[in-house]
Amino acid sequence: MLDRRSAFWLLLFPPLLWLGLFLLAPLALMAAFSFRADLSGELLQAWTPTLAQYARLAAVGSYWRLLGVSAGVALVVAVSATALAFPVAYFLAFRAGARAGLYLTLLLIPFWTSYLLRVMALKLMLGSNGVVNSFLLYLGVIHEPIALLLYNRFAVVLTLIYVWIPFAALPILAALQRIDLALFEAAADLGAPPPAQFWRVTAPLSLPGLFAAFFMVFIPTVGEYVTPLLVGGSQGMLYGNIVQDFFTKAANWPFGAALSMIMLVGTLALAALALRVVDLRQLLQ
């Protein structure tokens, strides 16, 4: 007979073990690497810790600036994706009825097709000789192809928003589905018209979902590097690309590790600050 107390340990042990072994341990190794002078010698022998990598980092102003830019891009993407995802979640929660599950899955299926191939197809549409430009030129709306759509930061932001909307809809949907429909009846009984019902019942209760969606999009986007590689061109590079370069092009893991640690600490600090302002647990209650 398993009571609640003993169940606690049964529930705690597997995730804790998994995360400790496969998340914390590797990250600790990475952090240790950031205090290593270079990659020479046996990879796992002990080394004398040095702050050399961080000193180098501090000396290059453009890395810090790029981190700020990446955070800014992440902010824009997260706000836009969350805002654009809200109507989707609303539709699924209140208008799709029994078909909600089907419609949700419909949204996610494109993500089981290779992202690489889909973006290649997207580039076909957005390039200066692509479908969109050819069409607009044909219509006479423009006289020269618009270069704005591809190979710059704007293209990165657009593509990221495009990709994130279905995922951002998920937590919002979860929050909306929790709303007790009786609340709407009660509001209607009290004389509230539908718009007021929305602003006074739906919107406030959807806030936890909105915040969850925002964080879910914002945090990984700060370190995003795949999309800038595909559509960013030379001007659309983000911080994550620099990190990736040091691991895969420069074989300079210590410096790459230092860059990653800075980004991790920075994002953690941002998240902690935001959570202080918005107590997530309270919202989830």
Question: Among residue numbers 174 through 213, which ones bind another protein (CB under 8 A)?
Answer: 174-175, 177-178, 193-195, 208-209, 212
CB-nearer residue toward another protein: 140 or 195:
195
| Residues 87/173, Cβ–Cβ less than 8 Å | no
Instruction: Give percent helix, percent strand, percent coil of the chain, each to the nearest 5.
Output: 80, 0, 20
Residue 20, number of CB atoms within 10 A of its CB: 10
Task: Say whether residue 168 binds another protein (CB under 8 A).
Answer: no
Chain positions 125 to 164 lying near another protein, rule: CB under 8 A, are: 125, 127-131, 147, 151, 162
Residues 110-120 as b/e (b if ≥16 CB within 10 A, e otherwise) read eeeeeeeebbe
Task: Say whether residue 216 binds another protein (CB under 8 A).
Answer: yes
Task: Say whether residue 45 binds another protein (CB under 8 A).
Answer: no
Task: Say whether residue 250 binds another protein (CB under 8 A).
Answer: yes
Task: Say whether residue 248 binds another protein (CB under 8 A).
Answer: yes
| Chain mean position to CA 69 | 15
Task: To the nearest 10°, report the CA torsion of 65, 275, 104, 186.
Answer: -140
Question: Which of 14, 45, 46, 182 forms a contact with another protein (CB under 8 A)?
Answer: 14
* Least distance between another protein and beta carbon 265 (Å): 10
* Least distance between another protein and beta carbon 132 (Å): 11
CA atoms of 219 and 234, how far apart (whole Å): 24
Question: Which of 165, 168, 201, 262 forms a contact with another protein (CB under 8 A)?
Answer: 165
| Segment contacting another protein by CB under 8 A, of 36-44, 74-82, 135-143, 182-190 | 36-44
* Least distance between another protein and beta carbon 11 (Å): 5
Q: How far is CA 167 from CA 212, 213, 250, in A?
A: 11, 8, 34
CA atoms of 210 and 201, how far apart (whole Å): 14
* Least distance between another protein and beta carbon 76 (Å): 18
Rounded to whole angstroms, the maximal C-alpha distance in the chain is 77
Question: Which of 51, 72, 113, 190 forms a contact with another protein (CB under 8 A)?
Answer: 113
Task: Say whether residue 51 binds another protein (CB under 8 A).
Answer: no
* Least distance between another protein and beta carbon 22 (Å): 5
Chain positions 61 to 100 lying near another protein, rule: CB under 8 A, are: 62-63, 65-66, 87-88, 90-92, 95-96, 98-99
Q: How far is CA 89 from CA 115, 158, 160, 173, in A?
A: 23, 20, 19, 5
Task: Say whether residue 256 binds another protein (CB under 8 A).
Answer: yes
Q: How many residues bind another protein (CB under 8 A)?
A: 133
CA atoms of 50 and 57, how far apart (whole Å): 13
Tokens of 244: 């990736």
